[in-house]
Structure 1
Amino acid sequence: MKKVASFICKHKLFIVLCSLFALIPAVLGMQATKINYDILVYLPDDIETMKGQDILTEDFNMGSFSTVIVDGMKPKEILALEEEFKTIEGVEKAISVSDITGTTFPIQMLPKNIAEKVSKGDSQLMLVTFHDSISSDETLAAVEQMRSITDKHCKIGGMSAMVLDTQQIADQEILIYIAAAVVLCLIVLMLSLDSWLAPLLLLGNIGLAILYNMGTNYFLGEISYITKAISAVLQLGVTTDFSIFLYHKYEKSKQLYATNNEAMSAAIQETTLSVAGSSFTTIAGFLTLCTMSLTLGADIGLVMAKGVIFGIFSVLVIFPAYLLLFDPLLQKTAHVKWLPSISRISDFTVKHYRKILLVFIILCVPALYGNANTEVYYNLNKSLPDDLSSSIANEELKETYHIVSPSIILVDDSLKPSEIEQLSKELNALDGIDMTLSSALFSEYGISESMLPQSIRSIYQNGDYQAIL
């Protein structure tokens, strides 16, 4: 390690230049990395939900769907809007009750429970299906185009609309909270270090490591928007301590060695020994996330483990080069340490360690109770602002149409209408289910299959499976 440390000190200018040139591929890689905004794709492929999704995509050509609330439009206008939606790339079908009733048959003549589920006042529901998955670029672009052509007459609900809003709000705000983290860290570093320039060099060094990490995410194929959102701030928090440790070691070593290069070489060696165990356990901790069946864990774990490696490399190789190169300015910008001495706290801890241990054990009881009784929510809508377009649409679907979570059950096509009708009755009897819609329901009210347009029949039947909404 002594030879490596000496090499770093001797070639400090070369290392600084290389660190800056490395930003070019890092930035290009960061811009080219695909960001995934759909948490559902991280579910294991062998669970029923994903198997059903594959069948819907391959057999029904329905990778995803959105429920659209159409306000203040006549049946003729709704049918025209359907045709306009169908011209959008990515849209497979656009259907509404107007496809059954036409422009003259009043909706009120349909069975009451069906009519109330598809129309309320001057609003009506439309189902739009997409070729591709919920979060594909094609589907999200289609939803955005649908919004642009509907003006104020439509509200688009469903997962794809929610993913689109999540994408937009995440992209808009990520720079804001990264900037907030940098400002807060800068304040703490200004108080804890003895130079005005040192905090800027330290944060700049960590910034390089973050950019290298984000740039190399390109080789992972894609990362989650959650990983993108937390990785920079988390990497900043995890690796800042290492940089502070090196800086203090360097300042102390300058009092013991004749040259700055010798002092930095000693500081690098001491820092390596001190942070090796801490960094390896941190990397191991992040890599354990890769064992999760929910592969979002692997997504976060790999990116963060890689981030710690880049952080350590920057602390031990790049940061020393910058400190040596800017050492004259560090001396010129030196200031008095502002943090007060904590000797009283340390003395108290040593003197009363038995009492402190007892308090810790006692506090474990309410802590364990609180942890066991903390509610965990799995509703993605809950974390989004109420004023987003998708949130407004989903809230209206909930309040007006009692549609909160539409789900599709796929059953074998060999089931007889009577068997599907019996299954629908059993499903309707379950708490939480508001209504089931299937071919059996149409038959129950005397609406034969031949009376339904092919566009509607293809939604719930494809030859191998029947779908119950």
Structure 2
Amino acid sequence: MLKKMAHFIVQRGRIIEKFFIAMTILCAVCYPFVGVNYDLSKYLPDFAPTKQALDVMEQEFGYPGMARIMVKDVTLPEARTIRQRISRVDGVDLVVGPDLAANVYSTDAFIKNSLTDRFYKDGNAVYQIIFEDGDSDASTHKAINEIYGIVGKDRGCFAGSAVSSKERQESITREIAMAIGMAVVIIWLILTLTTTSWFEPFLFILVMAVAIVLNMGSNIMFGRISFFTFSTAAILQLAVSMDYSIFLLHTYTAIKQSGVDSRPAMEAAIEKSCSSILASGATTIVGFLVIALMKFTIGRDVGFVLTKGIVCSLVTVLFLMPTLILRFDKKIEKTAHRSFLPPLDGLGKLMYRIRIPVLAAAAFCAVPCYFGQSMNYFYYGDDALGSGPGTRVYEDSRAIEDVFGKSNVIIAMVPNGNVIKERRLTEELEDQEFIDYALSMAGTLPQGIPESFLPESVTKQLRTGSYARILISMENREESSYSFQCSEKLTEIVKKYYPEDSYVIGMTPTTMDIRDILTDDYNRVSIISLAGVALVVMLTFHSVMVPVLVIIPIEVAIYLNMTIPYIIGDSMVYIGYIIVSCLQLGATIDYSILMTNNYMEFRETMGSRDAAVTAIAKSAISILTSGGILTVVGYLLYFTSSIQAISQVGRLVGRGALLSMILVLSLLPALLAAFDKPIRRQQQRAVERRARRMARPGKQTCREVQE
């Protein structure tokens, strides 16, 4: 079967090339039509309280985006005029700010203006804006642009989830293009150092570019993907899949140098390398598919897209790359150069010499790092996605907080029917020390004044036929232990008055739901990921002990990678914590498999010491090439992305790849040499069992013939 496939690929190269050209063009055309979602709450499962609350609110009031804007050097009359102009912008639902009551009640007789002091201070005015549509909707972003024109970008400070979403959408494409452009240049330099032809790096990058376009364009089948996937999938696919094409080309070159003609050499190279390439891809796919099992469905989004990316890379390498190698074979030969890297025998001897200290250090660090990784300070919600220090949104948020303090807007929805109960609830909420204000129709309208006096355009902002909306501002951050306590207290008060059919919605309640779901996800996903990769390795080596030894260096690298933020006092994005843990295991386990394969091969003719030294020397260039590319790509994301979640994931990926390289080159050979005898006994028993299984049907056939 494999031989027939290899023959077909070599003989039908032109047809294969035309097919890939057509598919690449099609996917390139589809790529701009793939939607990008920036709202984490969209990935909450249906059983989450916030998801249920959002569904009700979207049906009753819409799904509102929010912004907080401060205007500097403005008089109170000017501030009132600005608020009135903002309230008339298409897409704006409600503006809370100076002279709020004059907007709500059309004559001064009904003005209850106790909130004015909270929105105007020392010549500065602040406005809390609720939009008709979500943070990332085009109508909301159009409204924000109009507000920029009303306020003036130089005169105002703009913050809030809607503003952050708009800035993310505008910067993310630019940052991705910058990161990929820099990655291509640096990867070309790495490949130039580790290959023996000037043309080979261009060929590798061309093949990966085709695979990336196929993957990103085919995302149109999902309709929309998360901003997290959009930001990281292409560059991670480039880094993780590069070694497939390197392995195929090196195998072809070695066979050809033995005197075989080009076409037969390519057929032999496909046959010889296919199983190794597929095994390498399988471990990575297992790691990515496990991410898709998360209940917080952004994992499904990331997992499916990255898995599809690996499949696209495997198909492109096994079908398109052989035809391209044969097409450009003469050019590869003409641009050949000597290797720029010296033999790495000295590295092998050094790693073996320090094996005992390495084993001791790994044993000493493993347990503390295992517990240390879970002691990080984690971010779960929108704070994890916010723009980092130095960006306009970040600085504007701090400027507003310096003048007016923090504002964490929560919306409570309660059933209509009892105005007195609604008023009492509003008053009790305002009595809480952590609440700045609570705004409701019943709580703001003076007693004795019927709501029927007010125009429908006003009442619909705070009441529908079934629900009343209470706008609450808590004086704390959206995400902290104190915020979570305050949100729980607020929910408790609302449920006291309305035990059924009442809902509390906002960034803090959403973040609490995400926290609870993600914490459960990590425990399940990490175990399944470990078991899945171990199973693939066990089937590859026919041994129970080898998977344990192969995984140990990677797991120690993961624990150490995730513990470093705790040691240096940095915070961590929990989504990144889960995804990178699985990604690092799936992507870097190949280094361990390569090292172990080489060790087993050399162990057939050498002692354990010489086998370990030679395996390190032979594996080092491949590991340093693949790991170096992943390290560079990770740190490029870290340095180029203004989104904290993407930036931190990049740093975790880059640092994780670096640690995995170091531990595979140092710790794994020490483990293989230390457990050499048990490994060989297990493999010998596996060979004997396989021989017995193969012999048993033959014996049965002989008996049947005799009968």
The alignment's TM-score, normalised by the length of structure 1, stands at 0.88
Q: In structure 1, what residue type is equivalent to 2:329?
A: D
Q: What's the counterpart of residue 184 of structure 2?
A: 182
Q: What's the counterpart of residue 244 of structure 2?
A: 242
Q: Distance in 1 between matches of 2:132 and 2:378?
A: 33
Q: Is the 8 A contact 1:439 1:449 kept in 2?
A: no
Q: What's the counterpart of residue 33 of structure 1?
A: 34
Alignment of 1:137-176 (within 5 A): 137-152=138-153, 153-176=155-178
Which secondary structure does the structure 2 equivalent of 1:376 belong to? Answer: strand
How many residues were matched structurally?
Answer: 465
Q: What's the counterpart of residue 555 of structure 2?
A: none
Q: Distance in 2 between matches of 1:348 and 1:390?
A: 50
Q: What's the counterpart of residue 52 of structure 1?
A: 53
Equivalent residue for 1:403, pick from 369, 384, 406: 406
1:413 aligned to 2:416?
A: yes
Q: Distance in 1 between matches of 2:448 and 2:327?
A: 83
Stretch deviating more after TM superposition (231-240 or 133-142): 133-142
Which secondary structure does the structure 1 equivalent of 2:68 belong to? Answer: strand
Stretch deviating more after TM superposition (134-143 or 219-228): 134-143
Q: What's the counterpart of residue 256 of structure 2?
A: 254
**Superposed displacement of residue 8, structure 1:** 1.6
Structure 1's 303 and 247: CA in aligned 2 closer, same or farther, altered over 3 A? same
Alignment of 1:303-382 (within 5 A): 303-349=305-351, 353=355, 356-378=358-380, 380-381=382-383
Q: Distance in 1 between matches of 2:230 and 2:398?
A: 28
Structure 1's 166 and 298: CA in aligned 2 closer, same or farther, altered over 3 A? same
1:394-448 Cα offsets, whole Å, 9 max, x none, are 3344222223321112223345535653575367546x544433456536x8796
Which secondary structure does the structure 2 equivalent of 1:407 belong to? Answer: strand
Alignment of 1:293-308 (within 5 A): 293-308=295-310
Structure 1's 467 and 67: CA in aligned 2 closer, same or farther, altered over 3 A? same
Q: What's the counterpart of residue 69 of structure 2?
A: 68
Q: In structure 2, what residue type is equivalent to 1:400?
A: V
Unaligned 5+ segments in structure 2 are 473-707
Alignment of 1:5-24 (within 5 A): 5-24=6-25
Which secondary structure does the structure 2 equivalent of 1:293 belong to? Answer: coil
Structure 1's 45 and 324: CA in aligned 2 closer, same or farther, altered over 3 A? same
Q: Distance in 2 between matches of 1:109 and 1:82?
A: 17
Q: Is the 8 A contact 1:62 1:129 kept in 2?
A: no
1:90-114 Cα offsets, whole Å, 9 max, x none, are 33344544252479979x9843xx3
Q: Is the 8 A contact 1:413 1:464 kept in 2?
A: yes
Structure 1's 263 and 60: CA in aligned 2 closer, same or farther, altered over 3 A? same
Q: Is the 8 A contact 2:426 2:443 kept in 1?
A: no
Q: In structure 1, what residue type is equivalent to 2:312?
A: F
Q: Is the 8 A contact 2:70 2:125 kept in 1?
A: yes
Structure 1's 22 and 60: CA in aligned 2 closer, same or farther, altered over 3 A? closer
Which secondary structure does the structure 2 equivalent of 1:227 belong to? Answer: helix
1:116 aligned to 2:112?
A: no
RMSD: 3.2
Q: Is the 8 A contact 2:226 2:301 kept in 1?
A: yes
**Superposed displacement of residue 10, structure 1:** 2.0
**Superposed displacement of residue 388, structure 1:** 4.2
Q: In structure 2, what residue type is equivalent to 1:66?
A: A
**Superposed displacement of residue 207, structure 1:** 0.8
Which secondary structure does the structure 2 equivalent of 1:291 belong to? Answer: coil
Stretch deviating more after TM superposition (258-267 or 396-405): 396-405
Q: What's the counterpart of residue 91 of structure 1?
A: 92
Q: Distance in 1 between matches of 2:331 and 2:128?
A: 65
**Superposed displacement of residue 290, structure 1:** 1.6
1:117-147 Cα offsets, whole Å, 9 max, x none, are 2222333333433322222222222222322
**Superposed displacement of residue 225, structure 1:** 1.6
Structure 1's 329 and 50: CA in aligned 2 closer, same or farther, altered over 3 A? same
> Alignment identity in percent?
26
Structure 1's 73 and 61: CA in aligned 2 closer, same or farther, altered over 3 A? farther
1:240-289 Cα offsets, whole Å, 9 max, x none, are 11111111101101023531111111111111111222211211221111
Q: Is the 8 A contact 2:188 2:202 kept in 1?
A: yes
Q: Is the 8 A contact 1:397 1:404 kept in 2?
A: no
1:270 aligned to 2:272?
A: yes
Q: Distance in 1 between matches of 2:26 and 2:87?
A: 41
Stretch deviating more after TM superposition (256-265 or 214-223): 256-265
Q: Distance in 1 between matches of 2:120 and 2:178?
A: 42
Q: Is the 8 A contact 1:428 1:434 kept in 2?
A: no
1:351-378 Cα offsets, whole Å, 9 max, x none, are 6655543332222134224313222223
* Structure ranking higher in helix proportion: 2
Q: Distance in 2 between matches of 1:200 and 1:380?
A: 40
Q: Distance in 1 between matches of 2:186 and 2:449?
A: 67
Q: Distance in 2 between matches of 1:416 and 1:149?
A: 37
Q: Is the 8 A contact 1:235 1:307 kept in 2?
A: yes
Structure 1's 381 and 59: CA in aligned 2 closer, same or farther, altered over 3 A? same
Q: Distance in 2 between matches of 1:447 and 1:267?
A: 88
Structure 1's 334 and 41: CA in aligned 2 closer, same or farther, altered over 3 A? same
Q: Distance in 2 between matches of 1:96 and 1:404?
A: 13
Q: Is the 8 A contact 1:36 1:135 kept in 2?
A: yes
Q: Distance in 1 between matches of 2:50 and 2:184?
A: 41
Q: Is the 8 A contact 1:86 1:94 kept in 2?
A: yes
Stretch deviating more after TM superposition (46-55 or 329-338): 46-55
1:50-103 Cα offsets, whole Å, 9 max, x none, are 222233332124533333334455566556555654554433344544252479
Q: Is the 8 A contact 2:416 2:466 kept in 1?
A: yes
Q: What's the counterpart of residue 384 of structure 1?
A: 387
Alignment of 1:94-105 (within 5 A): 94=95, 96-101=97-102
**Superposed displacement of residue 390, structure 1:** 3.5
Structure 1's 71 and 62: CA in aligned 2 closer, same or farther, altered over 3 A? farther
Equivalent residue for 1:215, pick from 204, 214, 217: 217
Q: Distance in 1 between matches of 2:422 and 2:131?
A: 30
Which secondary structure does the structure 2 equivalent of 1:341 belong to? Answer: coil
Stretch deviating more after TM superposition (432-441 or 232-241): 432-441
Q: Distance in 2 between matches of 1:447 and 1:402?
A: 35
**Superposed displacement of residue 21, structure 1:** 3.2
Stretch deviating more after TM superposition (375-384 or 358-367): 375-384
Which secondary structure does the structure 2 equivalent of 1:411 belong to? Answer: strand
Q: Is the 8 A contact 1:61 1:92 kept in 2?
A: no
Q: Distance in 2 between matches of 1:416 and 1:84?
A: 31
Unaligned 5+ segments in structure 1 are none
Higher relative contact order (CA 8 A, sep 6+): 1
Q: Distance in 2 between matches of 1:427 and 1:355?
A: 62
